[in-house]
Amino acid sequence: MTHIELDLSRHCIATEVKRLHNRRVSDYFKGRGEKAALEAEIALLARALSELDLPSLRGFHRLLAGGEAVAVVLSGAEEAPLALTLAGEPLDLEGYRR
């Protein structure tokens, strides 16, 4: 299972996931980092972008709107649904799937 910590101190969750996805793709093609780990993170971030309604999620949970230091972790595996924890508590993502 892959886990990615999201830094929402400056960006909302939607912007942070897009930013990290672009950065990981760039790192992959520039040969920065371990390819297998980067591939897993790129796949997880791409799934979050395509499967989750991040703007709605941001609107419902004020801490996901950014501007505050809060622990947010995105996790998942190929065969498992995506999971998101906010300050150590799992969020129910059922209403936010596309």
Q: Which domain holds residue 91?
A: 2-96
Total domains present in the chain:
1
Of 29, 25, 51, the C-alpha closest to 40 is 25
- pTM here is 0.93
Please state the rounded mean pLDDT for residues 2-26.
97
| Residue type at 9 in one-letter notation | S
For 88, phi then psi, to 5°, come to: 85, -5
Q: How many residues does the chain have?
A: 98
User: What pLDDT score was predicted for residue 98?
Assistant: 86
Q: What pLDDT does residue 83 have?
A: 97
Task: For residue range 42-83, list pLDDT tens digits in order.
Answer: 999 999 999 999 999 999 999 999 999 999 999 999 888 999
DSSP structural state of residue 2: E
The reported pLDDT for the residue numbered 14 is 97
